[in-house]
Chain A
Amino acid sequence: MSPQMIDRLISAFFDTVLMVSASAGIAVVAGIPLAVFLVISGPGGFFPAPRLNRVLGAIVNGFRAVPFIVLLVALIPFTRLVTGTTIGVWAAVVPLAISATPFFARIAEVSLREVDPGLVEAAQSIGASRWQIVRHVLLPEALPGIIGGFTITVVSMIGASAMAGAVGAGGLGDVAIRYGYQRFDTTIMVVVIVILVALVSLVQISGDTAVRRLRAR
């Protein structure tokens, strides 16, 4: 492998990490409030808003239904509006975040729903406000599940980021397609796969460790 190729791989690796972490950050910031709202505004929740709940639920399902590669292209006008460009890392972050947020929100929602209603009742009985119930009961109690769900989200985003080459965002997936596949460079292909496997394993192991620590108490 030439030194240029190694440089290209290193830079592609950082592009992938940047794309995934920026959109994962957005997914957390947007997804957790979305999940909380879906839980507390739904049937049996303590902040009933059935109409808004159904509308948000439908939007979430809509985004979840569209394959990422389609979303990537369909969102181009919106991406241009937000980032001012349609190519590069940041142009990929927009569709990645928009695709990951509903995905993560649904997983976080399941964990939040599993919090024993008795705990919410106990919090109400000590005079907790709704926000305090979310802050001190729902989120801390669902945290292991949310972290587990975040791990799954990040892993699937690493996969999705490989398609970001379609908008010229670069990244490991792009390198593998352009050099490994189109130029029949098996070495590059193998190296990219090894790096991706290592990256995914690292994410999964960190997530699992965090969950195990939280559950052990």
Chain B
Amino acid sequence: MTGALAIGVSERSGARVVPDVSVRRIAGTVRFEGLGKTYTSSAGEVQALSDINLEIEAGEIYGIIGRSGAGKSSLLRSINRLESPSEGRVLVDGEDIAGLNEAGLIRLRRRIGMIFQHFNLLASKTVRENVALPLLIAGVPKDEAATRVAEVLKLVGLEGKEDTYPSRLSGGQKQRVGIARALVNRPEILLCDEATSALDPETTLSILRLLRDINRRLGLTIILITHEMSVIREVCHRVLVLERGQIVETGPVWQVFARPQHDATQALLAPLKRDLPADLAARLRPRAESLTDLHVVELTFAGEAAPDLAALSAAINGPVRLVQAAVERIEGHAIGRLVVLLPGRADLARLPLAARSLGHVAADD
């Protein structure tokens, strides 16, 4: 049915606030220039990424989405040089990171925190020791390290768990330890590698809220990769859709949700999409067969303001029966899709919203 919109009704209250420009830091920009990555495997050469050009601004939450094998992981790992590109350049705060020697690379990595799908915590160390590890290896004095560990553990809500070993923590708590470890060096960029993919929906939401909170309070750039559009919708400002190593779509999240351009984006949005209710779909016929038949119409909108329902009714001068609705606000933009039943004679051209006829049903109920 509709390909235009794919959103569920969200409980999220209020729009996400774009970080205030005045608190934005200059540090934390990432720029890809003609980035390419080719792997040599037993099956021959595999092009994981090709011609990636992208600029990520300081202080934004940037989402990279794609199906598995799309190259998301390689792209993310090229930012802290866990993987080196085959072509092109990666610039962090304007500096080409390919030119860094080992000491320079270590300094760069201390400015970039990273969290992982499987948390990657040391089983042999307590929560405190795990979080303190980046400071220990950076040679931060013990007193200062203790203060900073306590600070970040408070930030992620893990006070009281300092002496617990990771095996005794829940998945959400483990990821909070991972976040604390990534933040303790006070990075300007946080990389999230499928950080919520191993978590249940409720925990996912709490971790995403934490990330959003951290982004707002510390002003750091967050770059996350995921295969779930709901994650993008929840926290990201801008999104990039990656398909077979190439950028197929980029833009503000609300735009990509409202008007997805590429098949890959549509496919990724599909899990959030609702089909026409089955009972209605079964009764649908292409043409009106009697004067009392109702017209099934899909209305879509994407813009600043939410639609005025009274105006809708006034435009067709008759009853409007709402069958299905998916409405959402993403960064102050109302986007949505309504399925309504209108009198058969209603003139769709007069409706204040983009309308598309889905068919007709008998008015027998």
* Interface residue SS majority, chain A: helix
B107 & A217 in contact (Cβ 8 Å cutoff): no
Q: Is the CB–CB distance between B185 and A126 below 8 Å? A: yes
The residue in chain A whose Cβ has the minimal distance to the Cβ of B165 is A217
Closest B residue, CB atoms, query A141? B124
Within 8 A of A (CB), among B89-137: 102, 105-110, 112-114, 116, 118, 120-125, 133-134, 136-137
Contact of B122 among A121, A127, A132, A137 (CB under 8 A): A137
Q: Is B2 an interface residue (CB 8 A)?
A: no
Q: Which residues from B are CB-within-8-Å of A119?
A: 120, 122
Across the two chains, which residue of chain A brings its CB closest to B114? A125
Q: Which of A118-160 contact B (CB under 8 A)?
A: 118-119, 121-129, 132, 136-137, 140-141, 143
CA distance A94 to B123 in the complex (A): 37
B82 interface contact, C-beta 8 A: yes
Contact A118/B116 with A127-B134, A129-B137, A217-B124 known, Cβ cut-off 8 Å: yes
A217 to B168, CA, bound (A): 8
Is there an interface contact between A136 and B114, defined as CB atoms closer than 8 Å? no
CB-CB under 8 A for A118 and B120, given A125-B112, A126-B109, A217-B167? yes
Interface size of A in residues (CB-CB distance below 8 Å)? 20
Whether A82 is near chain B, meaning CB under 8 Å from some CB there, is no
* Measured CA separation A119–B178 after assembly (Å): 11
Q: Considering the chains assembled together, what is the distance between the CA atoms of A123 and B114 in angstroms? A: 10
A214, CB-defined interface residue at 8 Å:
yes
The reply to whether A126 and B137 contact each other, CB–CB distance below 8 Å, is: yes
Map CB proximity to A onto B171-194 as digits: 1 under 8 Å, 0 otherwise: 000000000011001000001000
The smallest C-beta distance from B120 to any residue of chain A, in angstroms, reads 4
CB-CB < 8 A to A185: which residues of B? none
Nearest Cβ on chain B to A43's Cβ, whole angstroms: 13
Interface residues in B, total, Cβ within 8 A: 31
Q: Which of B106, B109, B118, B185 contacts A118 (CB 8 A)?
A: B118
The complex places the Cα of A125 from the Cα of B135 at a distance, in Å, of: 13
Closest to B105 in A: A127
B-contact 0/1 string along A1-12, CB 8 Å cutoff:
000000000000
**CA of A116 to CA of B118 in the docked complex: distance in angstroms?**
10
Q: Which residues of A contact B124 (CB under 8 A)?
A: 140-141, 143, 214, 217
Which single member of A121, A129, A141 contacts B106 (CB below 8 Å)?
Answer: A129
Q: How many cross-chain pairs have Cβ atoms below 8 Å apart between A and B?
A: 70
List of A residues within 8 angstroms of B165 by Cβ: 217
Is B185 touching A217 in the complex (CB atoms < 8 A)? no
Partner of A141, one of B107, B113, B122, B137: B122
A118 to B109, CA, bound (A): 16
Query: Which of B110, B121, B124, B138 neighbours the largest number of chain A CB atoms within 10 Å of its CB?
Result: B124
Contacts of A132 in B (CB 8 A): 137
Contact B120 A136 (CB under 8 A): no
Bound Cα distance from A128 to B109, whole angstroms: 9
Contacts of A129 in B (CB 8 A): 102, 106, 137
Does B80 touch A at the CB level, under 8 Å? yes
Whether the pair B123, A125 counts as a contact (CB closer than 8 A) is no
Q: Determine how close the nearest CB of chain A comes to the CB of B115; give it in whole angstroms.
A: 9
A140 touches B114 (CB 8 A): no
| B187 to A: closest C-beta gap in Å | 9
Q: Which of B106, B120, B138 has the most CB of A within 10 A?
A: B120
The reply to whether A116 and B185 contact each other, CB–CB distance below 8 Å, is: no
Task: Tell me how far the C-beta of B154 lies from the nearest C-beta in chain A, rounded to whole angstroms.
Answer: 20
Complex CA–CA separation, A118 to B73 (angstroms): 13
Sample of 20 more A-B contacts, CB < 8 Å, known A124-B109, A127-B105, A127-B138: A118-B116, A119-B120, A121-B82, A122-B116, A125-B112, A125-B113, A125-B114, A125-B182, A125-B191, A126-B110, A126-B137, A126-B181, A127-B109, A127-B110, A127-B185, A128-B106, A136-B122, A136-B137, A140-B125, A143-B124
Q: B residues near A, CB below 8 A?
A: 80, 82, 102, 105-110, 112-114, 116, 118, 120-125, 133-134, 136-138, 165, 167, 181-182, 185, 191
Name A's B-contacting residues (CB within 8 A).
116, 118-119, 121-129, 132, 136-137, 140-141, 143, 214, 217
27 sampled A-B residue pairs with Cβ under 8 A: A116-B118, A118-B120, A119-B120, A122-B114, A122-B121, A124-B82, A125-B113, A125-B114, A126-B110, A126-B181, A126-B182, A126-B185, A127-B106, A127-B107, A127-B110, A127-B137, A128-B106, A128-B137, A132-B137, A136-B122, A136-B133, A136-B137, A140-B124, A140-B125, A141-B122, A141-B124, A217-B124
Report, nearest first, the 8 A-B pairs whose CB atoms are least far apart: A122-B120, A127-B109, A125-B114, A126-B134, A140-B124, A217-B165, A118-B120, A127-B110
